[in-house]
Every structure is written in structure tokens, then in C-alpha cells.
Amino acid sequence: MKSLIFSLFTFSCTVSFSQLGNTMYGLARTTNPAAVYIATMDPVTGIATNIGQTSVSSSINLTGAALNPYNNRFCFFGDNGLKSIDLSTGQLTNTATINNPNGTGYFDLFRFNTSDSLMYGLSRRNITNPQTGQVTGTMYLATIDELTGTVTEISPSSIGQAFALSGSAIDPHQMVFYYSNGSQLVGLDMYNGSIYSNPTLTFPNGGQHFDNFTYSCSDTTMYGLVRTNYYSSVFNPLTGMTTQVFDSAAVHLGKVDAMSGAVTKISTQSIGVNSFSVNGSSTIDPVNLIYYFISGSGTGLTIYGVSLTTGLVVSQGAISNAGALYFDMMRIQSDCYESRPTRVDPSANIQETFTSTNMVKVFPNPFTDQITVSSEVELQKIELIQANGQVLNSLTVSGKDFTFETSQLINGIYFLQVTNVEGMEIIKIIK
């Protein structure tokens, strides 16, 4: 049996998971004076530590943030554009103004996708009818260039008009971007920008809202906070009218089935908070399986850690920092690190094919460090194809059996296009 090694420079990684660490980053900010610093957070104690001594902005926009673990940058929108911060020094490295070739607009709910190293979000623009003057809101799934601010719209047409401040999430395995319009959880196909799914959110075992949702690569599940609001009836003798006034809220950790929209409570009892920071101010520790969010306001902020398995609060730390009042847009750098797609780009037109004689066998499948291709007749060519259709390597071969070294491949779906003297087969392989 012959063997060969693919030159998989595309997938070589220079940082191991242990080197990467499990640090939580976010934006520590003050109001007097107005200043923003990149900081790390100890979620158990609540102590936030500024990385740099220089403020990187005077304000933040809570419509998105992205942590790129590959170039060690944290991006957010500040007072004058998209800011890139070096996580090692806490220093501002670049500020870019939004540049959308299709017109002036906004870029919201953006997150970093670890499976293709791009920042995805919603490009939101207003279009005015020149005849009637009527303004129509449009939204498109788009990417943004961190350095230039250039927005590239992916959706062929508008996919909505508005979003709820419930956050956003990226499933890097299925390549789907999620946001909520209030009543529905909308999934957008990141390959082509079309609507992948848009089920109505339902709460079979109680709840009214699903907020601060985020995707966990550790178990391929989307988690968030299930909120139920309670109101009291107040009679006004001067008007003779009874109005409903907010009284309290019950908050549970929950998860959602992204295809059906069914939200399930994990916590059997309310976490014990009435409010929380909105719009995706949450993150997941993939090592210890903990969901983190922040509750309170001003000097009364607390960071809560909730077990993904039990729904119980496992930590709560009163947030403290040298002068900072708030801690926003937190992200843990190892979450979804080096994930890869398991759903194939529909435009790649990759389908498994088999000859009637089934002359080619590939084993083991799923594989780990090696994979063997065995043919009943002479082999001619073998191509390794990524799930998005990209050919990673193409080799002219001979003989009937070859063993491939695959230790450098990241977990995910791949395809082997095997050509022998009888024809060609495409075989799906999984690591």
C-alpha cells in the first residue's frame, strides 16, 4: 500500500486551543468623562481589567461587536466609525467609515464567523421613492471589511425591514446568520444571503420573549434568556381608567430549535433578575459550558454565569473596574474557534455519486488522522474538496490504494473526488 501526505497549508494553525485560552473580552466604559477601554473580565469575581491605558472611543453602538481570534482584534462601532482594537495592547489600530457602494446606511448586529474569517451583519438602508417621497426600509445580509469599512451585500433582495434588540448569532457549521424581528427567529443563508428559515417563536412551557441569544459550538445549540413580563392593573380615579403597569419579570435560561422556533426553558426556576443588558450582551464559555449575561444598571451591574446543562446560576460577580460603570459586548475568544462548515454551499453543486459497481471505498469514515482510498481498478486522480466547493488539493496518483495524512484538517465535512480508469466518484467524508 502506498501513502502520501497532502500539503494542507490552508488549514495549518499556529495557535493551539490551549495557547488561545478562554479569556472574556469586552468594552469597559465610563460616562464622566466619556471613555471606552478594551478590557478582560473575570466572570466569577466581576473584576474587569483594562488592557490599555488610553481610551479608544467616547461612545459605543450596541448593534454589534466581533472578536477575531486569528488576528487578535476586537471590532465595534464607536463615535466615528468601525474601530479595531489590538487585544494584546488595548490600542486602537484602525478606524474605518462605513462604505456601502449601494447607498448610505447602517451595519448592524455584526459578528465574526470563525469558519471563514469574515464579519457578517445586517446592512440596513432607506430607499426613497422619487415620485411619492415614501421611504421604505430595506435590510440585506452583508459582510464588512475591517480595514476599509466596505460593506458587501450578499442578499439578492431585501430580507426584512427591522430587527429586535434580541441579539444575533452565527452557526458556523450550518453557515446561517440569525436575528429576531420580535416574533420570528430569522435565519439567513450565509452562502447566498437568502432566507434559510423564519419560524415564529413559540413557548410551549412558558415565556414571552427570547433575548440575548448566542450559538454554542460546544453542543451546536442556540441559547438565550426566556423572559416573561408581569403587569399590575392600576386604577386612576382622575380619569376613571385602568392601565397596565410593569410589575416584574421572570427570566430563565433557555434554548431554541432554530428550524421550528420552539423555545424551551432549561432553568426550572427564575434566575432572579428583572432586567438585563439587551442586544446580544452575552457569551458562552465552551469549556465549562456556562452562559454569561449582565444584569442591573450603572454601579449595580452584575455578571451572571448560568450552567447550560442545569440552568442554575453558578456564579455572580458584582462588576468592578477602575472608574468604569459598564461592561458591554462581551466575547470569549475560544468560542467557536476554528469551527468549519458541515453544510455544503448549495451553489457548489457537490453531490455524492456512486458507480454501479461501487469500485471505490474510503475508510475510516468518519476519520481522524488518516484516511485510505481503495479502488478495485487503477486510480488516476484524487481531489480534496471543502464544503464550500473550494478544491484544497488535486493529485495525480497511480496504484489501487492510497493512505492520506489528515491530522491537519479541521473538523467538518469534506469531499473526495476520486477518478479511476472506470470513471469518477464523489464521496463525502467527515472528520
- DSSP characters over 259-312: TT-BEEE--SS--S-S----SS-EEEETTTTEEEEEES-GGG-EEEEEETTT--
**C-alpha to C-alpha distance for 213 and 173, rounded to whole angstroms:** 17
Is a pLDDT exceeding 60 seen at residue 186? yes
Question: Which of 373, 364, 350 lies closest to 420, judged by CA?
Answer: 373
| 127 has a pLDDT exceeding 70 | yes
**Alpha-carbon distance 245 to 59, whole Å?**
32
What does the angle CA 177 – CA 78 – CA 20 come to, to the nearest 5 degrees? 60
**Overall average pLDDT of the 316-321 stretch:** 89
pLDDT at residue 428 is higher than 80: yes
Q: Decide which of 1 and 9 is more confident.
A: 1
pLDDT of residue 13: 32
pLDDT digits (tens, 9 = 90+) for 298-317: 568 899 999 999 999 999 99
Backbone phi, then psi, for 9, in 5-degree steps? Answer: -65, -25
Average pLDDT of 255-284? Answer: 92
Would you state the pLDDT for residue 243? 82
Phi and psi at 18, nearest 5°, equal -65, -35
Average model confidence (pLDDT) for the chain?
87
pLDDT digits (tens, 9 = 90+) for 191-249: 999 999 999 999 999 999 999 999 999 899 999 999 998 878 787 878 878 887 767 78
Average pLDDT of 51-58?
94
What pLDDT digit, counting tens, does each position of 27-47 carry?
998 888 899 999 999 999 999
| Domains (range + CATH), the chain | 2-9+344-430 (2.60.40.3080), 22-332 (2.120.10.30)
Spatial CA neighbour of 280 closest among 220, 211, 223: 211
| pLDDT greater than 80 at residue 280 | no
Q: So what's the pLDDT on residue 298? A: 57
Of the candidates 224, 230, 217, the one whose C-alpha atom is nearest the C-alpha of residue 263 is 224
pLDDT greater than 70 at residue 107: yes
What integer pLDDT is reported at residue 299 of this predicted model? 62
Q: State yes or no: pLDDT of 9 exceeds 80.
A: no
Please give the DSSP secondary-structure letter assigned to residue 201: P
Q: Lowest-pLDDT range, 45-49, 77-81, 121-125, 413-417?
A: 413-417
What residue has cell string 449595580? 300
Contact, 21 vs 8, CB < 8 A? Answer: no
Query: Residues 128-140: pLDDT tens digits?
Result: 778 887 878 899 9
Check pLDDT > 70 for residue 94. Answer: yes
Q: Which residue has the higher pLDDT, 85 or 387?
A: 85
Which tens digit of pLDDT belongs to each residue from 361-399?
888 988 888 888 988 888 988 888 887 777 888 888 888
Pairing of strands 313-318, 47-50: unpaired
DSSP conformation letters of 326-394: EEEEEEETTTTTT----S--GGG----B--TT--EEEESSS-SSEEEEEESS-EEEEEEEETTS-EEEE
Residues 202 and 258 sit within 8 Å (Cβ to Cβ): no
